[in-house]
Amino acid sequence: MTSSKMRVAVVGAGISGLVSAYVLAKAGVDVVLYEKEDYLGGHAKTVTMDDGVDLDLGFMVFNRVTYPNMMELFETLGVDIEHSDMSFSVSLDEGNGCEWGGRNGLSSLFAQKSNALNPKFWQMIREITKFKHDVLRYLEEVEHKQDITHDQTLGDFIKSHGYSELFQKAYIVPICSSVWSCPADEVMSFSAFSILSFCRNHHVLQLFGRPQWFTVRSRSRTYVKKVKEELENRGCQIRTGCAVRSVSKRDGCLVMCEDGYEERYSGCIIATHAPDTLKMLGEQATYDERRILGSFSYVYSDIFLHRDKSLMPKNSSAWSAWNFLGTADNRACLTYWLNVLQNIDDKGLPYLVTLNPPRTPEKMLLKWTTGHPIPSVAATKASLELHRIQGKRGIWFCGAYQGYGFHEDGLKAGIVAANGMLSKSCEILNNPKHMVPSLIENGARIYFARFLQDYVVAGTLIILEEGGTMFRFEGTSKKSCLKAYVKVHNPQFYWKIITNGDLGFADAYINGDFSLIDKQRGLLDMFMVRFVGIDLVPQFSCFPTEIFRVCRFSLLIVLYKVLRQGLESVANPLQTVIRNGFATDSYRSVNAPWKFKLKRISYGEKKVAMVFQPRKIRCKLATVFATGHILMVYQRFCYNIYYKEIAMDKSWYEIATASSRIGFCNGKQL
């Protein structure tokens, strides 16, 4: 049946249901979306407090490494994001046992001063490093040897490698218990393969160099609203407050609601928790559906939104975004510090969300219950057999339970189910490589960021590193609404700019060290952000500050290389620094080697047209960028950009990298 004639029901409007409906609607399918609650989004729930503060209570954070498909959706929808803090702390025995945190470096790690003199604590730190190597070796064996089963539990793995009791109680158990919202005594029964592969993929195995986490700037309801608008624009019917009682295979798929209303469809996607899905299928569920869907277990938690600081670590220096609180009876609870996670100003008492507290919090604001799938051995095996039930009766299944139980997993499951119904193959993005700059590159990045903090005074320039970190440079002036996104693929990007200035930027672009998300206007918008900044602050001069920073940083690099490799290895870098670092943005006489006419173009209200001729003059600098079939001339001190249709070949590459200076006199083009 062609997609234009298909009429499909999607049951459940969490992330899986929303995305599957979105994919189907874009393909021209007639979609009806059912949701038992009176709102869309599932765990993506936002509430507004009496003081006007918006809080996300479910889906809060994500990153570019482990949420690549979520990031792609957000970029497609134009969802604005900002930095978040994903620090973690542990407080055992109500603060009377071991207590440590990770938010403020060593001051948090040794928030409990006795840790510095505790040999068991130092042993735990050493075991964290050992744990990474043991996990990587184990996963390599399991993934490359087909005769190894997935029956081993996390407890078996920990016991076989002889980890200390403190490592278990103050590190691995708190992390797993916090991630999957489950009691501490159940963690050791989890599938070792699922837990450890999650730790590897989410960079939990390392203390430093973890990905940058983000949160939605205007809360998660922003993206839900955008998806809803896309669905409605494509004719999707959305039925909230409409609980589905059953889905049966009878002359197509018959969907019956709790109020007795029923409707027939070409097919159905059920995007609910596995136990709820089985309940809808009822007696018509096949043996494989009961066996596979019945293997996914859930843990249910009582959750409180409150402002009770006693449900945080005893020592305030250990306070972090996630706070694991262990009790004397081996129970565990988790408190989220929303002010840190969601960048909420501290006004009086903090906003806190606690799962399974030992007592009802004081100053309680809300209470609810939610379920979360857990990575049991049975669930790990069942996830490998989902293909046995997908689409067999015109019914497809999706949900976060088909992965680790998180938003990214639900999104991927929704994409797969929708494309399966369309009989289309789909490409699910894998976790990108996390970019970890070297010491030199990290230093260059720091100086680059400091420079842009002063330079961008209008518009917004967003630097997105491949696999993680984001830098946002936002001007204070309201005269420009320009926004440019630069995606960095290689940390050499920073080094080239710091050491070679504009030429380094051109070289980085030509060599693919960075790219623009907007392929059509991205490069132009990026330049215009800088031009607007200069236009609004004409008295600003790049030369003194920029050259000082370049020289100072360059000398540090030379010193570093001297110490590391000896004087001989730095002869060439030193020459490069002297030649490029001092001359990059200085005023000097140049000989313009070209004759060509440039077309008149317009950008907003600016229009320019000029002819370049060879002559030797004292000038303000400009840089030539050969970008595909466009030659872009960027003048640092003016608001002008020029285009010329050219053929991109080696000769133009040489012009862009070796002969990049053209003449200006008194701000006028010659």
Which pLDDT score, from 0 to 100, does residue 328 have?
A: 67
For 429-453, the pLDDT digits (tens) are 776 666 666 777 777 888 888 777 7
Q: Is residue 305 predicted with pLDDT exceeding 70?
A: yes
Do 28 and 49 share a domain, yes or no? yes
Residue 282 has pLDDT above 60, yes or no: yes
Q: Which two tokens stand for residue 571?
A: 């002869």
> Are the CB atoms for 629 and 650 separated by under 8 Å?
no
Helix (H) or strand (E) holding 471: strand 470-474
Instruction: Report residue 261's pLDDT band, with 50, 70 and 90 as the boundaries.
Output: very high
Distance, CA of 406 to CA of 377 (rounded, Å): 18
Q: What local confidence, expressed as pLDDT, does residue 581 receive?
A: 38
Q: Which two tokens stand for residue 615?
A: 């002559």
pLDDT score at 264: 95
Q: pLDDT tens, 355-401? A: 999 899 999 999 999 999 998 889 989 999 999 999 999 999 999 99
Confidence of residue 149 (pLDDT cuts 50, 70, 90): low
Same domain, yes or no: 466 and 521: yes
Give the pLDDT score at 436. Answer: 67
Residues 140 and 264 in one domain: no
Which residue in the block uniquely carries the two structure tokens 């979306």? 33
The closest alpha carbon to 169, from 86, 99, 87, 88, belongs to 99
Q: What residues contact residue 427 under an 8 Å CB cut-off, 6+ apart? A: none
Q: End-to-end distance of the chain based on CA atoms, in angstroms? A: 66
**Is 628 among the domain residues?**
yes
Tokens of 529: 């952000």
Q: List CB contacts of 151: < 8 A, sequence separation 6 or more.
A: 377
Shared domain for 199 and 282, answered yes or no, is no
511: how many CB neighbours lie within 10 A of its CB? Answer: 14
| pLDDT, position 502 | 67
Q: Which domain holds residue 478?
A: 435-586
657 band by pLDDT with thresholds 50, 70 and 90: very low
What does the block give as tokens for 95? Answer: 């603060």
Q: 472 with 215: CB under 8 angstroms?
A: no
Residue 248 has pLDDT above 60, yes or no: yes
Tell me what the pLDDT averaged over the chain comes to. 78
Domain boundary among 565, 586, 607: 586
pLDDT over threshold 90, residue 240: yes
Q: Does 444 map to a domain?
A: yes
Whether residue 385 is found in the same domain as residue 254: yes
Of 570, 586, 602, which one is at a domain's C-terminal end? 586
Q: How confident is the model at residue 469 (pLDDT cuts 50, 70, 90)?
A: confident
Average pLDDT of span 115-131: 91
Contact 103, 320 (CB under 8 A): yes
pLDDT number for residue 638: 34
- The letter for the amino acid at 435 is M
- Shared domain check, 510 and 638: no
Give the integer Cα–Cα distance in Å for 359 and 259. Answer: 38
Please tell me whether residues 117 and 149 are part of one structural domain: yes
Q: Look up residue 429 and give its DSSP letter.
A: P
CA angle (197 as vertex; 194, 201 as ends), nearest 5: 135
The reply to whether 89 and 126 lie within a common domain is yes
Question: What is the per-residue pLDDT across 487-516, written as a single tens digit (0 to 9) for each?
Answer: 888 888 888 887 777 677 777 887 888 888
β 7-11/30-35 pair status: parallel
CATH of the domain at 41: 3.50.50.60
The predicted pLDDT at position 19 comes to: 98
pLDDT for res 477: 67
In a domain, 430, yes or no: no
Specify whether 323 is located in the same domain as 457: no
Is the pLDDT confidence value at 327 over 80? no
pLDDT given at position 432: 64
CB 56 within 8 A of CB 353: no
pTM of whole model > 0.85? Answer: no
Helix axis angle for 68-77 and 407-421, nearest 10°, is 80
Q: What is the mean pLDDT of residues 291-312?
A: 95
- Is 427 inside a domain boundary? no
Number of folded domains in the chain? 4
Task: Report pLDDT digits (tens) over 2-26.
Answer: 445 789 999 999 999 999 999 999 9
Domain for residue 426, yes or no? no
Examine residue 450 and state whether it is found in any structural domain, yes or no: yes
Question: Same structural domain for residues 384 and 281?
Answer: yes
Over residues 526-566, the pLDDT tens digits come to 767 754 444 444 443 343 444 444 444 444 544 444 444 44
Question: Is 401 among the domain residues?
Answer: yes
- Give the rounded distance of the alpha carbon of 242 from its chain centre: 33
Pair 135, 207 in one domain? yes
The last residue of one of the domains, among 586, 608, 639, is 586
Handedness of CA 442, 444, 450, 456 (dihedral sign): negative
Q: How far apart are CA 225 and CA 220, in angstroms?
A: 9
pLDDT band at 158 (very low <50, low <70, confident <90, very high): very high
Statement to judge: residues 187 and 275 lie in one domain: no
Q: Which of 504, 507, 506, 488 is nearest to 496 (CA)?
A: 504
Alpha carbon distance 289, 566 (integer Å): 67
Distance of CA 573 to the CA centre of its chain: 36
